[in-house]
Amino acid sequence: MEPTEETVTDEALMASAAAGDRKAFGTLTRRHLRRSIALAQRVVGNAADAEEVAQDAFLQIWANADRWRGDGTRFTTWLYRIVVNRAIDYKRRRSFAPLDDAGEIADPAWSAETVIDGIRIGAAVDAAIAALPERQRAALSLCYHEEMTCAEASEILQVSVSAMESLLVRARRVVRARLQPLIRQKDGARS
């Protein structure tokens, strides 16, 4: 029985795309575009740049489709590696972004009522994550928010598993330290 568009694997579609099949590439793009945009947005921090990163990543994949070897590598590993690398490059190039683009910094003077406001806590957490170095942010996004295993994420970032763990430890520690005033206030409000 022939596999349908829904059942055909990413790797088979990529092999067809490598042979110049635009339809197969279109199917692959539709399948992974949304998650790629979301991943890019976690790294670059805003929607417009994330769209550009995802677009560039897919065009790069098409341009280099003939380099796809399919030697056991998962297509998604290759795709997310390109997305993350482009997002990191993009973020570095835009490191001097206008002040208006910067996230809101957690204000330690918030009242207890404000602290329990989930939206504001979310904004503070977003700002703390946005202030992380790119690779730490990417590590956190892949392992925590995209729920990949450390091994998968380390393949995407092209580091060893122990280096990936170090990135995660540092990222979590920094986020925690930046949000410590919120935690203290929340604890104070409880007591």
Partner 1 sequence: MTLKEFKRYAAAYGADLDRWPRSTRVDALTLLDDSAEARDLLADAAVTDTLLDAASTPLVSSRREAQVYARIADCLSQRVVPEFVPWFLSRPPFRPAPLAGFLAGMAVIGFLSYSQGLVTFEKTSTPNLSGVMIVSYLGDVR
Site residues (CB under 8 A) for partner 1? Answer: 22, 25-26, 29-30, 33-34, 37-38, 41-42, 47, 50-51, 54-55, 58-59, 62, 118, 121-123, 125-126, 128-129, 140, 143-145, 149-150, 165-166, 168-169, 172-173, 175-176, 179, 182-183
**To the nearest whole angstrom, how small is the minimum distance from the Cβ of residue 6 to partner 1?**
17
- Of residues 2 and 33, the one with the C-beta less far from partner 1: 33
C-beta separation of 43 from 137 below 8 A: yes
- Of residues 84 and 128, the one with the C-beta less far from partner 1: 128
Residue 122 tokens read as 């979310």
33-52: burial string, b at 16+ Cβ within 10 Å, e else: eeebbebbbbbbbeeebbbb
Dist. CA 178–CA 174, nearest whole Å = 6
**To the nearest whole angstrom, how small is the minimum distance from the Cβ of residue 66 to partner 1?**
12
**To the nearest whole angstrom, how small is the minimum distance from the Cβ of residue 93 to partner 1?**
20
**Phi-psi domain of 72 (left: phi exceeds 0; alpha: psi -120 through 50; beta: other):** left
- Of residues 96 and 125, the one with the C-beta less far from partner 1: 125
**To the nearest whole angstrom, how small is the minimum distance from the Cβ of residue 155 to partner 1?**
15
SS3 for 123-165, per residue?
HHHHHHHHCCCHHHHHHHHHHHHCCCCHHHHHHHHCCCHHHHH
**To the nearest whole angstrom, how small is the minimum distance from the Cβ of residue 98 to partner 1?**
21
